[in-house]
Amino acid sequence: MINKFRDISLKKDGERGALYRQLESEIIQLICRGILKPGQALPPSRELAQVLQLNRKTVVAAYEELDAQGWVETKERSGVYVAGNLPETPARSIDQNNKQLTSNRQPAYSLVNKRTFDTATQANSDSDTNSRGALPPLYKIDDGFPDPRIAPIDELVREYRRLGKNHFAERFLMYGPEQGSYRLRVELANFLNRTRGMQVTENEILITKGTQMAIYLTTQLLISPGDTVFVPEPGYRDANQAFELAGAKLVYIPVDKDGMDVDRIEQLCKKKVPKMIYVIPHHHRPTTVTLCAERRMRLMNLATMYGFALLEDDYDFDYHFTSDPLLPLASLDMGRHIIYVGSFCKSIAPGIRIGFMVAPEPVINEAAAIRKLIDRQGEQLLEEATAELLNTGEISRHLKKSHKIYKERLENTCRLLRTRLEEYLTFERPDGGLAIWAAYRKDISAREVAANAGRLGLKISDGSNYFFQPGNSTPNNFIRVGYCSLDEKEMAGAIEIWKQALRSFAAK
């Protein structure tokens, strides 16, 4: 057994992050590659620590995280075992050369109509969530945004000003690489490798203006009119519209407490293989649930079996409160099936339009060619300033500070919802993310509540942007409650107005 662990490679210089996180990632890969089987015992922590020349506490911490995420199970007085509910996977070896940082990876899916696309249909625009003629809101309960008041804006402006006054500022004011600032891509690769267990280089990263641009570019690369795309339901409207704009036929996959229904995906693949599956495995939008370990493995296995692409939207990685954030699917994929997109918009502030796409270099080059047609490049000064904040650790310090603040705001908002609105709605405290998913009583219309609230000075969701499957009765009593952008006093005031807006639905 212990021989299976001897090839584990860990970097003790901090380049890939904490040792226990590296070990956690390596063990997950052994499971996903079928080297470790469901129900198989893992080595005792002391023995594994000796083989890998680690402190035993490092191994214990990795085992605890794997247990929390559902990859292993701990049996009292017996040991740690690979979770028995995980799917059986044929053992697959791995090209050790491909495991290293490389620019030679090739995608396992095909690109379509490189750099040339047909005109697609026009998508619908978002609707106003409050009634016309409403007063300017005193408060806004948003969809799940960070609080820009605690963002490291002073530090960012300082670096922006320093770079702008520097003797080499002229080159940042000229055209730069379509892929984005080279320095930012280098720093971002280091950041993703350290925090998300990935193994990418700067050549496999494209800087975008937020996650939405990355989703759009991916769609233009992969989707032809008539192609099938599986999307979650409830899901993210803007992504769906991008797919429809490219002429895709959407197939809606139910989402439950464990994420997208992989059983349903498997059934549908036997009839018609999709070109792509859009998945939000960590803090699904809007329901905030996390795709469980067993479904993650099965989804990856299906991508290998059928050859479709997975578009992984990790818009909300950093804020997880019950354990460390779950490593993305892309950390297991080695660049074969997944295009990974994310941004700093939810980590810092929505107005800081720094997003990214991670994919094999040939894909990034094609995406950069399309990006050049719609937006020649990003803003080099902002990108260079962001790179400096990554390099100095300022962004990491901000994430650590805001993590504590947002966890406190989550607890405060849950308490207020339970004590003030218990008779009107139900919810479960999320494990992480920047929002709470709640359901009104069946007799309460989210649209009517939003209209009432707007007249009283509160802007709140009308529940219209979550369910999209045509032909079905669309639920209208769900709401996504962002809790991070309002402090304790502000949230109390907002919920008091919300309660007033609900009084017409008081139980008789």
Domains of the chain: 2-94 (1.10.10.10), 139-145+397-505 (3.90.1150.10), 185-375 (3.40.640.10)
- Average pLDDT for 442-449: 92
DSSP helix/strand/coil, 370? helix
Residue 429's nearest CA partner among 455, 452, 410 is 410
Which pLDDT score is estimated for 119? 37
Residue 106's nearest CA partner among 333, 313, 372 is 333
Number of Cβ atoms within 10 Å of the Cβ of 60: 16
Which pLDDT score is estimated for 378? 65
Q: Which residue did the predictor score with more confidence, 41 or 506?
A: 41
Buried b (16+ CB within 10 A) or exposed e, 169-187: eeebeeebebbbbbbbbbb
Burial class (CB in 10 A: 0-12, 13-18, 19+), 137: middle
Which pLDDT score is estimated for 312? 97
Q: Residue 1 pLDDT > 50, yes or no?
A: yes
Q: Residue 213 pLDDT > 50, yes or no?
A: yes
Query: Which amino acid does the sequence have at 393?
Result: G
Q: How much is the mean pLDDT over the chain?
A: 86
How far is 191 from 118, CA to CA, in rounded Å? 37
- Average pLDDT for 451-480: 88
Torsion over CA of 399, 403, 404 and 408, rounded to 10 degrees?
A: 150
Which pLDDT score is estimated for 45? 92
How far is 34 from 398, CA to CA, in rounded Å? 38
Residues 6 or more apart whose CB falls under 8 angstroms from that of 178 comprise 368, 369, 371, 372, 376, 377
- Average pLDDT for 119-141: 54
- Average pLDDT for 73-88: 91
Range in 29-33, 114-118, 130-134, 304-308 the model is least confident about = 114-118
pLDDT bracket for residue 97 (50, 70, 90): very low
Q: Which residue did the predictor score with more confidence, 197 or 508?
A: 197
Q: Residue 124 pLDDT > 50, yes or no?
A: no
Condensed to tens digits (0 to 9), the pLDDT of residues 380-390 reads 778 888 888 89
How far is 419 from 437, CA to CA, in rounded Å? 17
- Average pLDDT for 334-343: 85
How far is 380 from 169, CA to CA, in rounded Å? 10
Interior CA angle at 323 toward 320 and 325, to 5°? 50
Quote the percentage of the chain above a pLDDT of 70: 88
How far is 268 from 253, CA to CA, in rounded Å? 10
pLDDT bracket for residue 489 (50, 70, 90): very high
Looking up tokens 């495995």 gives 281
pLDDT bracket for residue 238 (50, 70, 90): very high
Looking up tokens 């605690």 gives 150
How far is 475 from 466, CA to CA, in rounded Å? 9
Q: Look up residue 162 and give its two tokens.
A: 């320093």
Q: Residue 17 pLDDT > 90, yes or no?
A: no
Q: Which residue did the predictor score with more confidence, 348 or 390?
A: 390
pLDDT bracket for residue 493 (50, 70, 90): very high
pLDDT bracket for residue 324 (50, 70, 90): confident
Q: Of 103-107, 224-228, 350-354, 385-389, give the range with the top mean pLDDT.
A: 224-228
Q: ω into residue 350 within 30 of 0, thus cis? A: no
Secondary structure in 3-state letters for 460-491: CCCCCCCCCCCCCCCCCCEEEEECCCCCHHHH
Q: Residue 92 pLDDT > 80, yes or no?
A: no
Q: Of 130-144, 167-181, 250-264, 377-391, give the range with the top mean pLDDT.
A: 250-264
pLDDT bracket for residue 88 (50, 70, 90): confident
- Average pLDDT for 371-399: 85
Number of Cβ atoms within 10 Å of the Cβ of 317: 22
- Average pLDDT for 285-304: 94
List the beta bridge partners of residue 341: 313, 357
Q: Residue 106 pLDDT > 90, yes or no?
A: no
How far is 443 from 264, CA to CA, in rounded Å? 30
How far is 77 from 142, CA to CA, in rounded Å? 48
pLDDT bracket for residue 175 (50, 70, 90): low
Is 481 within 8 Å of 436 (Cβ atoms)? yes
pLDDT bracket for residue 295 (50, 70, 90): very high
Backbone region of residue 260 per phi and psi (left: phi > 0; alpha: psi in -120 to 50; beta: other values): beta
How far is 501 from 491, CA to CA, in rounded Å? 15
Interior CA angle at 406 toward 260 and 347, to 5°? 70
Is 288 within 8 Å of 321 (Cβ atoms)? no
- Average pLDDT for 374-384: 77
Which pLDDT score is estimated for 10? 87
Residues 6 or more apart whose CB falls under 8 angstroms from that of 148 comprise 348, 349, 350, 351, 485
How far is 336 from 329, CA to CA, in rounded Å? 11
Secondary structure in 3-state letters for 341-355: EEECCCCCCCCCCCE
Q: Residue 371 pLDDT > 80, yes or no?
A: yes
Q: Residue 104 pLDDT > 90, yes or no?
A: no
Secondary structure in 3-state letters for 220-266: HHHCCCCCEEEEEECCCHHHHHHHHHCCCEEEEEEEECCEECHHHHH
Which pLDDT score is estimated for 472? 67
CA–chain centroid gap for 118, Å, is 30
- Average pLDDT for 25-38: 90
Which pLDDT score is estimated for 412? 97
- Average pLDDT for 469-482: 83
Strands 139-140 and 79-82: unpaired
Number of Cβ atoms within 10 Å of the Cβ of 275: 21
CA–chain centroid gap for 355, Å, is 12
- Average pLDDT for 85-102: 66
DSSP helix/strand/coil, 148? helix
415, HSE (Cβ side, Cα atoms, 13 Å): 9
